[in-house]
Amino acid sequence: MIENSSLYKKLTDRTAQVAILGLGYVGLPLATVMAEAGYNVIGIDPDQSKVDALNQGISYIDDVETTLVDQLVKAGKIRATMDFAVVKEADAVSICVPTPLRKTRDPDLSYIISVADSIAPYIHADMVVVLESTTYPGTTRELLLPKLLESVDLQVGEDFFLAFSPERVDPGREDWTTKNTPKVVGGITQHCTKMASKFYQGAMDTVVPVSTTEIAEMTKLLENTFRMVNIGLVNEIAIMCDRMGINVWDVIDAAATKPFGFMKFTPGPGLGGHCIPIDPLFLSWKLRSLNYTARFIDLASEINTGMPRYVLGKVQEALNDQGKALRGSRVLVLGVAYKPDIDDLRESPALDVIGLLQQGGVVVKYHDPFIPKIDDYDLDMSCVDNLMQEVKDADCVVIITNHSQYDFQEIYQSAQSIMDARNALGKIAAGDPKVVGL
């Protein structure tokens, strides 16, 4: 009975030593939740600046308050290091590293492989390891398990426990957080599921055990494929409505009054964030290896990735209405984060829109209260200082991210023309020809 094991008892009374591998948008919130629950937490990250900040009690993630990190550090509940050797002291390990796509649109699992190679020498009996990084079904069993146990003689499900639990972080949300979002957990064996569930039950409000790692892996992909496909649908509906001269936002609001059988999604300039644009493509790639085409995913991806170019066409339309050409015009992009009120640029459609505008010979500037500088993604730009002066000077203002800090009434009154990709102006600009929407 695993309930009688020393590891199970440590997890039950929260005396277990926890190691969190990767201290980014997923790992740092998880580390603080575990530390708040009473676990002693060691965070491991190859980025010296993150390690130094955490050890000084400073948060570099908006969703985690510096005051909380400072309290936990001073209480001795959390610390950080770059040394993977501390895993030999750990009873529970959570892997929270990135899983991007390569330029060829296939999964890049190099971070998972690197972490597995780094901790394999320190794997020991009475340890539970959980992978949280989003990936395709089969990764935990077929890739991670052999790597972790290649140099030790341990029996999975008896001596050592391995599971997958998908991260469900949505940056900027305050209603659903790491602590109260239900935690799906699936193990290599039933004992693995039980041990990993006990680990999370010590800190999370709700734990949802499933029977296999593959089910847990597929759960995350279903969640984000559902969103990606529905966003692709509503983006195409927006294009259809534009062709027919119908206001798509009025259509969506009317449809949303139905109390059953409809879920509201809204169109936009493209997909952003680490999850929705990327995760479904893990599934599409996996299915291609099984000689199956994930048609919904591929079509939705095609529509969504085409939205920045559609926005470019709408900007050109707005400029044409003023008798101005695209080339040489001055355009101000409002908001470059991938969603409102956060500082996350990952996969932001604003980056593609800016790139397309520049290719068209446009003089592009941007403003975003959360992102002072863009020095990656083949761009080198700084946020303009005087927002309203730039709004007045621009030939067209393009609203990509509708941050709550923006006074859209003032922006509307001051701008020469506007391309509103988020319906941020709403009824303010109804019928005004100087405003072009999706």
Contacts of 382 (CB under 8 A, 6+ apart): 372, 373, 374
**Which residues pair with residue 20 across a beta bridge?**
43, 94
Cα gap 29→59, rounded to integer Å: 10
Q: Is residue 355 part of a domain?
A: yes
Residues 30 and 135 in one domain: yes
Q: Which residues pair with 36 in a beta bridge?
A: none
What pLDDT is stored for residue 142 in this prediction? 96
Same domain, 109 and 65: yes
Residues of the chain with pLDDT below 50 are: none
Last residue of a domain, one of 173, 201, 217: 217
In a domain, 294, yes or no: no
**Cα 424 from Cα 414, distance rounded (Å):** 15
Q: 329 and 201 share a domain?
A: no
Name the residue range of residue 368's domain. 246-270+306-437
Count helices and strands (H / E) in the chain: 16, 15
Q: Show which residues are catalytic.
A: 275
Query: Which domain CATH number covers 252?
Result: 3.40.50.720
Same domain, 259 and 185: no
Is there a single domain that holds both residue 99 and residue 182? yes
Does any domain span residue 237? Answer: no
User: Are 323 and 259 in the same domain?
Assistant: yes
Other CB atoms within 10 A of residue 4 CB: 7
C-alpha dihedral sign at 337, 304, 347, 178? positive
d(CA 288, CA 105): 12
* Measured CA distances, 55 to 24, 27, 80, 295 (Å): 15, 15, 6, 47
Structure tokens at 337: 């984060």
Q: What pLDDT score was predicted for residue 79? A: 97
Determine, yes or no, domain membership for 285. Answer: no
319 and 190 co-located in one domain? no
Contacts of 405 (CB under 8 A, 6+ apart): 341, 369
Q: Cα separation of 202 and 395, whole Å? A: 56
- Clarify whether residues 155 and 7 are in a common domain: yes
Identify whether 384 is part of a domain: yes
Structural domains in the chain (count) = 2
Report yes or no on 236 lying in a domain: no
Q: Check whether residue 320 and residue 429 sit in a common domain.
A: yes
User: Which residue matches tokens 């003689």?
Assistant: 153
DSSP-assigned beta bridge partners for residue 437: 420
Task: Report in angstroms the alpha-carbon separations of 299 from 18, 215, 274, 281, 284.
Answer: 42, 25, 19, 11, 11
Same domain, 329 and 406: yes
Instruction: Indicate whether 33 and 154 sit together in one domain.
Output: yes
pLDDT for residue 170:
85
Do 251 and 183 share a structural domain? no
Residue with tokens 């996350």: 344
pTM attached to this predicted model? 0.91
Helices (H), 185-278: 190-201, 213-244, 248-255
The upper half-sphere exposure of residue 94, i.e. CA atoms within 13 Å in the direction of its Cβ, equals: 31
Does residue 49 form part of some domain? yes
In a domain, 376, yes or no: yes
Pairing label, strands 373-374, 127-131 = unpaired
